[in-house]
Amino acid sequence: MTASQINITEFIKSSERSVSTARESSVAHLGALERVRTKAVVAKGVEMTFQSGVESSLVLQGVDLEIPYGEIQLLMGPSGSGKTTFLSILAGILTPTAGTVHLLGQEITQMSKDELSKFRLKNIGFIFQGFNLFPALTAAENVEVALRMKGIKGSAAKREAQDLLYQVGLSNRVNYLPRDLSGGQKQRVAIARALAGNPRLIMADEPTASLDSHSGHTVIELLRDLAKESNRTVLIVTHDPRLIDVADRVTYLEDGILKN
């Protein structure tokens, strides 16, 4: 074989290699697109570094998570492992230092501030640790505030707030102030508020913390019904082992790394 023939053979081999690499990468790309299309939540390579003064701490070290539509996903792990940080990133409240997050097929990590707040308002109901209710407003008014933010106003907001409080079993407490409600009832108001505008994603940070066993159970059943009856996707950060039974999947975060 002459030198030029060897070169041609090498050229053909290397072309074949690059065609097959291109094919593989386009198959991988299609796979990624398919996952984004069929999953409610797709987080890929999420990293978070907090900078305080000269010190920086890497709290999330490349976390991947996928949640199919209509499922309840639990995120557990020791205190300080990065659960709230990760949940805040998935809810678009914090921007990760690296990685991507797709929610309902859209990449939120690419959105402008404006687009993101519109997306969040329409699609995510967030239940904060410690209820976060306005102390001077009644249960119904607390829910109405959320409805108003979502563009539902006047008598429609009043009717909708009553209906949401009915759904969480609080028809007889609509005019109560938070201070006159039990912890479990306050949490149910917070859930009713998260349901305002019928978002497809519910994210909750420690929804049963500080609730007694009965109230905790009511809240757990409510979260399960939300997911199963209305095909919502629910992501819950919790230490509460009672929630494991209602979850479709459980993942553990330890030192910023997910362990299944």
Residue 123 binds which entry of ligand ATP, Mg ion, none, CB below 5-8 Å type-dependent? none
Q: Is 130 in the site for ligand ATP (CB under 6 A)?
A: no
Joined together, the tokens standing for residue 87 give 């949940």
Region binding ligand ATP by CB under 6 A among candidate stretches 10-18, 81-89, 157-165, 194-202: 81-89
Report how far residue 156's alpha carbon sits from residue 143's, in angstroms, rounded to the nearest whole number: 12
Report if residue 76 touches ligand ATP, rule: CB under 6 A.
Answer: no
Q: Does 208 bind ligand ATP (CB under 6 A)?
A: no
Residue 207 found at the interface with ligand ATP (CB under 6 A): no
Question: Which tokens is 193 given?
Answer: 């508020």
Strand partners, 75: 237, 251
Q: Is 54 in the site for ligand ATP (CB under 6 A)?
A: no
Q: Is 92 in the site for ligand ATP (CB under 6 A)?
A: no
Residue 233 to residue 228: CA distance in whole angstroms: 9
| Cβ–Cβ < 8 Å for 177, 136 | yes
From the list 43, 44, 65, 81, which residue makes contact with ligand ATP (rule: CB under 6 A)? 81
Task: Quote the least distance from Cβ 151 to ligand ATP, whole Å.
Answer: 31
Taking residue 223's Cβ as centre, other Cβ atoms within 10 Å add up to 23
3-state secondary structure of 256: coil
CB of 122 to ligand ATP, least distance (A): 26
Does position 238 bind ligand ATP by CB under 6 A?
no
User: Which of ligand ATP, Mg ion, none interacts with 79 (beta carbon under 5 to 8 A by kind)?
Assistant: ligand ATP
Report the residue from 10, 21, 50, 118 that binds ligand ATP according to the rule CB under 6 A: 50
Question: For 130, left (φ over 0), alpha (ψ -120 to 50), or beta?
Answer: left
Q: With respect to ligand ATP, which residue has the nearer C-beta, 128 or 176?
A: 128
Stretch that binds ligand ATP, among 78-86, 109-117, 119-127, 151-159 (CB under 6 A): 78-86
CB of 218 to ligand ATP, least distance (A): 23
Residue 81 CA to residue 25 CA, distance in Å, equals 34
Binding-site ranges for Mg ion (CB under 5 A): 84
- Name which of Mg ion, ligand ATP, none residue 81 binds, using a CB cut-off of 5 to 8 Å depending on partner kind: ligand ATP
Q: Is 82 in the site for ligand ATP (CB under 6 A)?
A: yes
Question: What three-state secondary structure class fits 151?
Answer: coil
Amino acid at 185: Q
Collect all residues with Cβ–Cβ distance below 8 Å to 2 and sequence separation of at least 6: none
In 3D space, the residue among 40, 200, 202 whose CA is nearest the CA of residue 125 turns out to be 202
Phi, psi of 252 (to 5 degrees): -115, 135
84: contact with ligand ATP by CB under 6 A: yes
Q: Are the C-beta atoms of 206 and 239 separated by less than 8 Å?
A: yes
Residue ranges binding ligand ATP (CB under 6 A):
50, 52, 59, 77, 79-85
